[in-house]
Structure 1
Amino acid sequence: MIIAFAGGVFGYSAMEREMFPVVKVSGASVSVAWNGASPRDIEEQIVARIEEAVASINGLDRITSVASEGMGVVNIRGRDDIDMDVFLDEIKIRVDQINNLPQAAYRPQVTRWEQRNWFFGMVVHGDVDQKTLRQIGKRVRDDIARLPGGELAVMQGTMDEQVSIEVSEEALRRFGLSLNDVAAAVRSTSLNSSGGRIESPVGDVSLMSRNIADSAEQFGDIIIRQTSDEGTVRVSDVATVIDGLVSDKLSTTFNGRNTIFVMTPEPDQMDIPSYAKGFRDYIERANDPANGILPEGMKIDILWDDSKTFDARMELITNSALQGALLVMLVLVLFLRPVVAFWVTVGIVTAFAGAVMLMPLFGVSWNILSTFAVLLVIGVIVDDAIVIGENIHREVESGRRDGLDAAIVGTQMVMKPVIFGVLTTIIAFLPWAFITGPTRMFTQQISFVVVAALTFSIIESMLILPNHLSHMKKQEFGGRTGRFMSMQRRIADSMLWFANHIYKPVLEQAIRFRYATVAFFFSLFAIAVTMQSTGIVPFKFMPEIEADLIQVSIEMPDGTPYERLLQVRDQLQNGVDVAKKELSEQYPEVEEGLIRDASLIASGRQVQAFIGLIPPEERPESIRSKDIAEKLRAATGAIQDAETIEFAFTFNEADTGVQFALSHPDLDRLREAADYLKAHLATYSEAYDISDNLSSSAEEIRVTLKPGAETLGISLSDVSGQVAQAYYGIEAQRNPRDGEDVRVMVRFPESAREDLDSLETLRIRTADGREIPITQVAEFEFAPGINRIIRRNRMRSVTVSAEIFGDGGRGRIMGAMEEDFWPSFRQQFPDVIRGEAGGFEEEQRFFSEITRLLLIGVGAMYMLLAVAFRSYSQPLLLMMALPFAYCGAIFGLAVSGVPMAMFAFFGIAAAAGVVINDNLVLIDYVNRRRDEGAGAVQALVDAGVSRFRPILLTSVTTFVGILPLMAERSVQAQFLQPMIVSLGYAVAFALFVSLLMVPALYAAGVEVGRIFRWTWGGKPYRQIGEGYTGQVTLDEEALMGTSQGGHGSAPAQPAE
């Protein structure tokens, strides 16, 4: 025990502390930049070639690609059982072997997928310009990166720095220059170079040229041309040099002030409470003007801090566990003895300490899921100790044995059911440790904790607990504690009285009407299955884990003007203000308001927002993050031209919607099929935010040569190249600045790049120095274009998605579409390939795999029990716990209004472990009585009455152990409800299965066997229960007589 406690302290100190385990996904991305290239060119000349190269890699799962303007990305997902290092090396080899990528394209970049949870976010804000804000934000990010846990801190909500040398067409003509001339001058003048070393007698001297330009003035002083006629022509003579950001079309605000974000993902070694405290201390110092960290008028605020939620969840689970342990101890004190209750409770703590010692070896961190597993297994651990402690207590109180002899014999009598009960429970949880996919990191955490705790529980209950109870003496009722002990004994005896006078007659009737009893319970099971299949108890794969942050994402069509983006931003900000005011009026008791702050980003074609809320524990119980998100959505109003609108309010991004992937080579055909599907989804009242990810049509200008242009020495390559130089720009060089690369771009001024008429004034420069108006050699045509092409498994694809109101709505819609919609869709679009995408696809894969693994587990459980009981039929009887634990869980979820979720299966598995243990204790006793010559009915009644107390106590202690959490109504407890409700109700329901249905089924099995032997074996048939007289052949009355004067036991009954 000392080793377990010491190891537990060491294991806890060695464990990481994090909100959730990091999800590892096998895969990599290949990205290739090709400046100015259209999505179609990117698709045909880059993406398709990379897909072809990697398509035959061993271990490949699927390929998804995106071709957009100037960039192609190929996402390569591997199977979860692959060696990721080998997979990544093979991708790099295949990509390096591609030799026909465009010459103008950059070298392909292969990046391994790495998913880290963001655990801390802060905003740096003030009334300064974007460039100044970026410099201050960068300094803050560097400070955070030097703190423990902040080494991966990144800056977001800003553009990269860039030097833009803007030359007008008029200036180029005036000086007879081209954009290439300006870029060449920059490259040849702004540089650092080494000239070697002079090894002189007095020492070595390095020869260096340091002339790299680093400011607008220095770039402006660069000489482009110098002649006796024209004099010196500098960059500043022909261009305007802007040392700024890549674009000014970016808006980031925090409560209306310019801001920049500093986000911190989890490092490899995580300790969320201490890391977050270090960040908070830094923010406090930075906001103090006396420290001089921030300029005047600047401030840092916390955007989110997961350590607060972590602490709240840990406090909830810890308090519930302590309350549950006290309730368990109280029950044991009342129905056994205080000394037994005390050592059983100590045994629970010992088993947990041993489990904590092993957890780091399994790679388990201290997170919400692992502590959740501690609660899950408490009922199973206490069962072993109760069964053994109760049996030792029985031996001592009966007077048959005392001391060490009672401890040894009492343990040996129930050793078999206890050991095999633990082993079957371990088998029930082990399959969850072997599933693949992103869900693995969640299920493994729970499985490993349960297995570790059960391993130590069997050691503690078999070796440590008997040693402690070996000092237990027969109960005495004198002295100062005599009155309390007499009262406790009367309470304990009441259970034995109940077993003899209430339960025994009921059990006899259940055995007498055994077929009706069995039929009744199986009809309940059929009802439970129907309740789930019809959606009465809806299913949700992952329960929502509410956050104190609402994330809003609004995507506009490609080509949306920046001014329209700012209008949407303002509309969202107004919605925040309106919702904040309405909530303050509705809940005046919350002084600071439910909405704490709002950060908004507008850039490209997207508006994002981070809406900070006060923590759930500081809100009225009736208000959840989901309610505030719906209020915010309503206050924002409709945005008719938005492609997608999303309000996320959970940590785990619970997928409640539907997604369908459609594939076809023709984009027009895809668009037609997507519209048909969206029109059908709109007919469901539960569906909203229906959208697809096809790029909206955008006009493009197509340039073609006029006849005879080649005779002037101009090719289409010359024209398209010089157009790209003018409007995209020439990257003259990349200069290092503060650890980052700053691009130096030479191009037309922004006013010309935003004006269609400027294209007609462009001159094409020939090799011999002539300047020819572009309108003489080329013509322009407006045509529909596309800004993004998405591919799935080497074919163009579109994903149609819709959010669904209510729990279980997705299942109903999917079922209805399978029956009513997809047959007609296949008739109308036979050439379109259909598939599920997103969360539903992962769910299907998960359930397919876990079903296979659970069947293997059930088979292993059956073989283990068959060997233990040397029977093929009794394991089936014992395993009745599995379907009826499910049955009880379904009824409990229906009564509580909680949807079925993946975590509910863990509660069912834990309940099944409790009930299998009860069945083992019961049937093992029946077998021993049968071996002594008792008849079937006599053995069943003897076993039921004798084992009533340990069976009832195991179920009651499991139920009361989780009762505090089941009664908890706070937001923090909601994500645990599916597991807690399933475990509690499954154990309560399965208690009746063990005490009534299992004996009835056993009796029915004996009778069927006799009929079979009489029919086929010619043996005489004997009616079951012939020799049963209604008396219990046990010494329970002697146990009760310790405090009430009872005595004696009935004589043994003849075998039937």
Structure 2
Amino acid sequence: MRNLFIRRPVFSAVISIVIVLLGLFSVTRLAVESYPPLTPPEIQVQAVYPGATAQDVADAVAAPIEQQLSGMEGLLYFKSANSSDGVMNLSVYFDVSRNPDLAAVDVQNQIARAQPQLPQEVVRNGIVVQKRQTAFLVVLALSSADPRYDTEYLNNYAKIYIDDELKRLPGVGDASTFGQLDFSMLLSLDPDHMAQLGLTVSDVAAAVQEQNATNPAGRIGREPAPPGTQLTIPVITSGRLKEASDFERIIVRGRPDGSLVHLSDIGEARLGARNYDLAGRFDGAPTALTPVFLRPGANALQVKQEVVTRMTELAKNFPPGVRWSIAFDTTPYVTASINEVVKTLFEALLLVTLVVFVFLQSWRATLIPVVAVPVSITGAFFGMQVLGFSVNLLTLFGLVLAIGIVVDDAIVVIENVERIMAEDRVPPAVAADRAMRQVSRALISIVLVLCSVFIPVAFLGGITGLMYKQFAITIAVSVVLSGIVALTLTPALCAVLLRPVPEGATAVAESGPVAKAFNRFFGRFNRGFRAVTERYLGAAGRVIDRPRTFFAAFAVAVALLLVLVRSVPTGFIPSEDKGYFGMLVELPDNASRQRTEAVVKQVEGFLLKQPAINHVVSLVGLNFIQNANQTNAAIMFVMLKPWDDRTTSRDQFATVLGGVNGFLFQLQQTRGFAFNLPEIIGLGTTAGLELNLQDRGVNDITRFAGLTGQFAGDANALPELRGVYPTIRVNTPQLFVQVDREKVKALGISLSELFQTLQASLSTLYINDFNRYGKTYRVQAEAQSRFRQTPEDIGRLYVRGPNQQMVPVSALTRTEFRAGPSVITRFNGFTSSLVVGAPAPGKSSGEMLAAVERLAQDKYASRGVGYAYSGQSYQERASGGQGGLVFALGLVMVFLVLAAQYESWTIPFAVLLGVPFGTLGALFGVWLRGMANDVYVQIGLIVVVGLAAKNAILIVEFANELRAQGRSIREAALEAGRERLRPILMTSFAFILGVTPLLTSSGAGAASRHSIGTGVFFGMLVATLVGVFFIPLFFVAIRSLSERGLVRPGAQGAIPQPTPVAVEGD
């Protein structure tokens, strides 16, 4: 009976139409992002120890907490930054498979265990544990030219009226305005007046706690009440204070004469900010900056539009003169890179169509395999939605490569149909039926083999496993759909669209100059192809007749492959021009924020004059690299102009970055560097080296800092690195206050009161809270600024003795300047120093890491210095063995599928032996273009394995059938090569030309496209041009060995066993 789908073409068409409709329905609901959620869950812990030094925070806060963290499920590493402003920022990282909510609960539980060991002031200030959103979407700027609306006002306006509105938008993970300029009731005290009145900070704190409190009084007439009670009336008392004037009327003490001492007698109250150490700027002007983070799986472009729409609505209620703008935006890169891939996708489709047309020489025949492309590609979107994928660079790369793959099955069918029509002179429907009987098994084998290569990748773990999964499963879905199309729609279209070509007819039947030109071209092409086929058969025959020579050549190819595996440098993700970069600016230790801001203004002036730069965002007072607040540091984010506007060499990313670094190098008393941000936002702080040197035996932070500096110097001298930068600094001038404890106790003075006086005067003392604008804010005490300008001011502070006498602090202490760290970082429980850097030009990240490891192990391990990676460097090292595992897994799965298909343990080797040629070509191309064997190259190798096996299957499958019909092994191999050469070349060159745009593309994301395109282009080129000569040899050798009885009898299953034919030697 004739094939069902040939008899029912409408039914065949309906299957494909349903696939397309499902895909179109799904594509509108898929998230759009540059990468899927790949960053490890990060739980951030923040604790504040007011007035403490960096060493105090590290010893009293960080160490007790970190001791409880090890052993949690899925923990990768943790690191903390402990700064001299009393703040500990601890980041805990988990495996990407860990649920972030459960990870946060685990961290919270461990902190609860450490809480009894923490200072009470730390517990009272609160320990914040939260999931940190890492997917930056945009940073909004709120600014005004009106001096009434300063940064403090704008910051609080954003926190009150904007942050929560944005957090409620669908797809927004978080939105929180930078800095701690939240309103605070600042009680600025005059230590001189307090001493004259015999008052201390403790007196003020006690008075505020007593008189600024919520005092519920109950209700009159509440139950149980006497019978006949008619009313229940709430009783209201004065509660928390609201205005500064209310706080100034607080009674601190009553005098014996009946007069009162109010807070206004010893200071003033004013509505200020909680902390002034951090300031935001946008394009050179003070600004409130609000970062908006993307929720995992959300559509970046859609969420940005939601943010813009909501901000436009909120702006209608802004005070006059207040405006908002987008200061930093990651979506242009998402849009541009995806548009470039989509453009490449259409270019690939045109080139594939051209190749198919040249080989098939008929628009009717060309239409049939080309129809498979939209059906398979569009249908893949449905599979992506079912599997929870998004439209991102990885899935789109999969679709680009799939274009050259999905036409293969249809080409195999139509080429066989046309051959049968020409040779047997039968109608298209009969030819289609016969062709399907011949190639159906081969089609199923190809689909199974390709799926067996791609699908197992989904079970790999880690970030690289997720990257492989998104790419490979997308192709696998497309391949399955193309197989369905080839088995259903393609034979039906062949029966309907193809027309018998009379003997001697030209390829293009129409008349006219264009038709004649096509006929001449096709005539020459066909004659040339017949000549190539004959020469191929002659060469293949000679290869078969000289097995020792060519197996030796095969061994040489494998040896070259092993050499390339060892010599091609490794990498992780190629560095891209994302349209923005980061900068760190550091002044000498202890430089004030005002001084730092002056330098930042100078840098902003330089940047905004550069033709390639669009906007500059600055955060003064933040060391982004160390995740610590430092008044002498600033982080800057620079937005470049669109890629189409940066066409000259001076406007290219590397040139701009180099120019900025050159300018920073010339600044006096300033060190800084510009750096590319990680390719996956949230995967570390820079796109280069992140090495944490650890004190594992030095036991002295000054000596450890010296060794760190030596390490950076040695690393900078290595040819693999540049710009190596250690972050540890231990020469920060610090004023050490030595308390004479014996004298303090002899005078009956409380040590806690002495230290509280120091804290409240030189830092701030958190007393309690007040309410305003529907929010809760802090009440804080501090000394007036004129009493904390110089070291001598410490002596002007007073504490009270047991006889009510006021004792100057200078009588109880002595001061001296010492050098110490302004920030102490810890990594996995050890004091550490983060070392950042970048690969030298022409060197890969893998070479950089290898050089750093050699240096650390050979020269510093014996001196008590250990090392550990974080960020992108950690992930690169963690993924080191994944590429080889993926490749080996693909080969094993191909072998098992073919063994099951052929019921043979030997025939699969005839297919697999052709794979090394593709791998050799891929790595040779990568080496030739000076690229690294990164994740994208390894992803491409998976494709090469599948397609090289597919080419071999076409020959081996047909040769097996011919052998079963009684042909000799040599004759079967050569005849299979003759009959399958045209579809092999057609499908291979369709794929090769289809990926050519990846090699030559430019613009956003070009480095990734070059990486994946280079591997698959050269891999398939070599696998096709060399493999077609060796596959017949492999088939003859393996089949001959099998039939000679070197393999266990019965291994060939039901395949008939003709008389063995010997393989001639040289």
TM-score, normalised via structure 2 length: 0.87
Answering whether residue 197 of structure 2 is matched by residue 175 of structure 1, we say: yes
Q: Quote the residue 1:754 is aligned against.
A: 789
Native 8 Å contact 1:418 1:917 kept in 2: no
CA-CA distance at 1:629 after TM superposition:
1.7
Distance in 1, matches of 2:563 and 2:648, equals 33
Could you give the per-residue CA deviations for residues 209-251 of structure 1, whole angstroms, max 9, x where no partner exists? 3443333233223333345736233222211223122344544
The partner residue of 2:367 within 336, 342, 346 is 342
Q: Distance in 1 between the 2:343 and 2:705 partners?
A: 55
Q: Which residue of 1 aligns with 2:385?
A: 360
Partner of 1:433: 458
Q: How does 1:660-671 map to 2 (within 5 A)?
A: 661-664=693-696, 666=699, 667-671=701-705
Unaligned runs of 5+ in 1: 581-592, 1029-1056
Amino acid at match of 2:673: I
Paired residue for 1:54?
Answer: 69
* Aligned mate of 2:353, from 318, 326, 329: 329
Distance 1:282 1:79 in 2: 35
SS of the equivalent of 2:880 reads helix
Match of 1:22 in 2: 37
Tell me what 2:1052 maps to.
none
Q: Which residue of 2 aligns with 1:861?
A: 894
- The equivalent position to 2:343 in structure 1, one of 311, 319, 339, is 319
d(CA) in 2 for partners of 1:457, 1:795: 55
The Cα of 1:114 is off from its aligned counterpart by 4.0
Q: Which amino acid aligns with 1:241?
A: A
Deviation at 1:166, TM superposition (A): 1.1
Spell out, residue by residue over 1:545-593, the C-alpha distance to the aligned partner (whole angstroms, 9 max, x if none).
3222232122456533334413431342243155x1xxxxxxxxxxxx3
Higher mean C-alpha deviation, range 514-523 or range 607-616: 514-523
Contact between 2:144 and 2:323, CA under 8 Å: does it hold in 1? yes
- Equivalent residue number for residue 301 of structure 1: 325
1:921 maps to amino acid = L
Q: Partners in 2 of 1:543 and 1:50 — Cα distance?
A: 37
Q: Give me the whole-angstrom Cα distance separating, in 2, the residues matched to 1:162 and 1:953.
A: 74
The answer for the alignment partner of 1:1040 in structure 2 is: none
Paired position in structure 2 for 1:932: 965
Residue in structure 2 matching 1:763, options 798, 803, 807: 798
CA contact (8 A) 2:687 2:872 kept: yes
Select between 761-770 and 951-960 the one with higher mean Cα deviation.
761-770
What amino acid is the match of 2:632? R
Describe the shift of the 1:29–1:967 C-alpha distance in structure 2 as closer, same or farther (beyond 3 A). closer
1:921 CA drift (Å): 0.6
Deviation at residue 372 of structure 1 after TM alignment:
2.0
Task: Give distance in 2, aligned partners of 1:253 and 1:73.
Answer: 23
Give, in whole Å, the separation in 2 of the partners of 1:853 and 1:639: 49
| 398-407 or 854-863: bigger deviation | 398-407
Distance 1:957 1:809 in 2: 32
Deviations, residues 734-754 of structure 1 (Å, cap 9, x unaligned): 223345432211121122223
1:604-644 C-alpha deviation (Å, 9 max, x unpaired): 33212222221102221644222212122223334575566
Aligned-pair CA distance for 1:522? 4.5
1:733 equivalent in alignment to 2:733: no
For residues 781 and 871 of structure 2, the distance between their equivalents in structure 1, rounded to whole angstroms, comes to 43
* 8 Å CA contact 1:700, 1:785 repeated in 2: no
1:100 matched residue in structure 2: 117
Is the counterpart of residue 12 in structure 1 residue 27 in structure 2? Answer: yes
Superimposed CA distance per residue, residues 15-45 of structure 1 (whole angstroms, 9 cap, x where no aligned partner): 1222322234245344433333344444444
Match of 1:806 among 835, 841, 855: 841
Residue of structure 2 equivalent to 1:742: 777
1:164 to 151, 175, 186: 186
Match of 2:153 among 122, 127, 132: 132
The question of whether the paired residues in 2 share the 8 Å contact of 1:643 and 1:691 is answered with: no
Q: Is the 8 A contact 2:417 2:428 kept in 1?
A: no
In structure 2, the CA distance between the partners of 1:38 and 1:280, relative to structure 1 (3 Å rule), is closer
For 1:84-233, what aligned pairs fall within 5 Å after superposition?
87-98=103-114, 99-106=116-123, 109=127, 111=129, 113-127=131-145, 128=147, 129-138=150-159, 139-141=161-163, 144=166, 149=171, 152-156=174-178, 159-199=181-221, 203-227=231-255, 229=257, 231-233=259-261
The reply on whether 1:845 has 2:872 as its aligned counterpart is no
Aligned to 1:576: 607
Residue 619 of structure 1, aligned match among 646, 658, 678:
646
Matched, 1:448 2:476: no
Question: In the TM superposition, what are the counterparts of 1:30-41 in structure 2 within 5 Å?
Answer: 30-41=45-56
1:262 aligns with 2:294: no
Query: What's the CA shift for 1:103?
Result: 2.9
Name whichever of 453-462 and 769-778 sits farther off: 769-778
Q: Is the 8 A contact 1:621 1:969 kept in 2?
A: no
Residue-pair matches, total: 1003
Between 1:224-233 and 1:445-454, the stretch displaced more is 224-233
Specify whether residues 1001 and 801 from structure 1 end up closer, same or farther in structure 2 by C-alpha distance, changes over 3 A only.
Answer: same
Asked whether the equivalents of residues 190 and 212 of structure 1 are also in contact (C-alpha less than 8 Å), the reply is yes
Choose from 889, 892, 900 the match for 2:925: 892
8 Å CA contact retained: 1:703, 1:720: no
Counterpart CA distance in 2 for 1:442 and 1:816 is: 27
Q: Look up the match of 2:4.
A: none
1:375 to partner: Cα distance: 0.7
Question: Are the counterparts in 2 of residues 224 and 233 from structure 1 also a CA contact under 8 Å?
Answer: yes
Amino acid at match of 2:273: L
Report the Cα distance in structure 1 between the residues aligned to 2:951 and 2:913, rounded to whole angstroms.
11
Name the CA distance, whole Å, in 2 between partners of 1:888 and 1:655: 29
In the TM superposition, residue 88 of structure 1 has moved relative to its aligned partner by 4.4
Q: Please, which moves more after superposition, 621-630 or 491-500?
A: 491-500
The whole-number CA distance in structure 2 between the counterparts of 1:255 and 1:1021 is 82
| Aligned equivalent of 1:717, options 749, 752, 772 | 752
Q: Does the Cα contact within 8 Å between 1:693 and 1:800 map onto a contact in 2?
A: yes
User: Which deviates further from its counterpart, 879-888 or 452-461?
Assistant: 879-888
Q: Within 5 Å, which residues of 2 pair with 1:1007-1046?
A: 1024=1063
Q: Is the 8 A contact 2:578 2:1004 kept in 1?
A: no
> Is the partner of 2:997 in helix, strand or coil?
helix
State the distance in 2 between where 1:36 and 1:241 align.
21
1:562 maps to 593
1:531 Cα offset (Å): 4.5
The question of 1:677 aligning with 2:711 is answered yes
Return the alpha-carbon distance in structure 2 between the equivalents of residues 78 and 820 of structure 1.
28
Deviation, 1:145, is: 5.2
Q: Note if contact 1:223-1:235 (Cα within 8 Å) is conserved in structure 2.
A: yes
Shift, 1:9, TM fit: 1.7
SS of the equivalent of 2:635 reads: strand
Give the deviation of 1:985 after TM superposition: 1.7
Instruction: Please give the residue correspondences for 1:378-417 in structure 2 after superposition, counting only pairs within 5 Å.
Output: 378-399=403-424, 401-417=426-442
Query: 2:876, 2:173 → 1: CA distance?
Result: 35
Q: Kindly tell me: are residues 40 and 431 of structure 1, through their superposed partners in 2, closer, same or farther at Cα, counting changes over 3 Å?
A: farther
Give the TM-score normalised by the residue count of structure 1.
Answer: 0.87
Where has structure 1 moved over 6 Å in runs of 4 or more?
Answer: 282-287, 1007-1014, 1019-1022
Check 1:258–1:902 CA distance in 2 against 1; reply closer, same or farther (3 A cut): same
Q: Which deviates further from its counterpart, 418-427 or 96-105?
A: 96-105
Deviation at 1:358, TM superposition (A): 1.6
Offset from partner CA, 1:111-168 (integer Å, 9 cap, x none): 3544342222332223332223324544455665566655733322662222211111
Letter matched to residue 100 of structure 1: Q
Shift in Å, 1:766: 3.0
**Cα pair distance change 1:158/1:52, threshold 3 Å:** closer
SS at match of 1:209: coil
Query: Are the equivalent residues in 1 in contact too, given 2:921–2:1019 (CA < 8 A)?
Result: yes
Residue correspondence of structure 1 range 752-791 to structure 2 within 5 A: 752-791=787-826
Helix, strand or coil: the match of 1:193? coil
> Could you say which residue in structure 1 is the equivalent of 2:637?
610
In structure 1, what residue type is equivalent to 2:329? D
Q: Identity of paired residues, percent?
A: 20
Paired AA for residue 904 in structure 1: V
SS in 1 for 2:140: strand
Q: Distance in 2 between matches of 1:882 and 1:574?
A: 57
Q: Which residue is 2:945 aligned to?
A: 912
Moved more, 116-125 or 227-236: 227-236
Aligned partners of 2:262, 2:135: CA distance in 1, in Å? Answer: 50
